[in-house]
Structure 1
């Protein structure tokens, strides 16, 4: 059978095009009918605008027949790498990689899922698709359908905190409260951080203050910012900075607020010019700067690494089901899936206020 799904065919232009779905579900796979999907404003707005990105990102979405994300986060064999030269647009492209759906058919050999189960999948904006069993992560009872699509993006913050050597009770600052940074802040709070959230957008600060009443939420450009930060966290300062904004200023800010021998973990994708990153503070504080992406996206049963993307998603969904992590705080707007073009246009026009946009396929 064939179903229509949206493709970006040119900058700021969608078209719906058919894709073939097998008549029968293959062994080891499940068929999923999408309930709601999330627009990831960083990557997907770049696809929508036609902005340069690392070539492998464009290539992954240019495979328009692939319904699920493949190969993301898999550690490559050792090699001497070239510079990450950006690639221009490669239209048409698929988009989307965060959704919750309902299992409507189960292939032979599937043991952990049944028809009617709600599942999270790293899959494209598409009404129905097939995925391997391990790619469909069961959503626990008590987790609202509208909260489930937000379970993946905060795993970037979870992975960053692990990279930064986080343990409960440390002082953590998150710089930038877009969807990635806000998710990192929610996770840090849920697992025991003393938290500061730094953001220049008033709307984003208000959202964080409402969701994280115990956190210190500040505009780092305002007078008195340093005094407020020091008053809350003295005498030790910030142990771990999660940097989720773009440009030299957030990196410089992170280095300034770190305590001696502190760690700054960069989630944001930066251009080559990152300013005076190796400033006097870097040496005097003996600071560490760490890069991060995410845990490998692979079958947890293979046990090739201690943490996998799927296992991290399961962990965050469990935290939500126990009332410790409030994923729904990232949800700001919902559009019918048929109006995906309107949703992207509105998000593009009001990016700082509309960070968590869902498409409803029901």
Structure 2
């Protein structure tokens, strides 16, 4: 008879690709994990992992079992949630994915409040080395329960996204750039020709640029798979233009620092410009570029009671802004 515990161990080893790390995560001895996997393989009559001294990889059978195992574990958790809701007090685990920079949500404060209100829920969070595209895949594969993402255009099929913020993408140039103009101000309003806090402008009072104006410039942008990069790439492709990304920076909050130091120009949401010292921002015409940020779940899996509570808290924070 297949045991739920064996499936939990199997999924953990599949995610960690390592028996020792899986045992540490499960807080059991490694021999117990190995024994559970061997028992599961005997019951199914096939190896689930290829084991060498260098790596642990799923076999074809293991790959086929993984989504069904996750669905079984989710169903068992949903049953526990139903009982816990009757008894009072949430239990379970919420696996959260996030971008490196989450400028519009006080995530530490949000999760601290959640922990204080629901101490029985185990929160596990990981950042996305491959950006929002990687978080989306992890949600669809059942590795995450909820993720804070920036996805350009329509969400991938199978995801439900609550948009928290959507704002225009602006062009950011170093203050001495040819498109900034001698009379331009930076965001701190440091030009003597203009009051502090006024908008930055280009030559002859120019306040905007087109993608064609920027196409020959070196760009600082996020790596492929990140929401800002996807949206800007889409804009250039729609205009029939090709640009050159000279520097890829995973943390969007630091992009402006590279621009400030003369390493390129950028198209980023205004919040990522920061103080703006030594920078000029211009609006972008004709492209309709927008940066969106939201919280996503897999629509095929009903959220647990703990996930629903977290989403409700996110909604409350959004309304308070």
TM-score band, normalised by shorter chain: under 0.3
* Length-normalised TM-score, structure 2: 0.27
Give the number of the structure whose residues are more often helix, by fraction. 2
- The structure that has the greater radius of gyration is 2
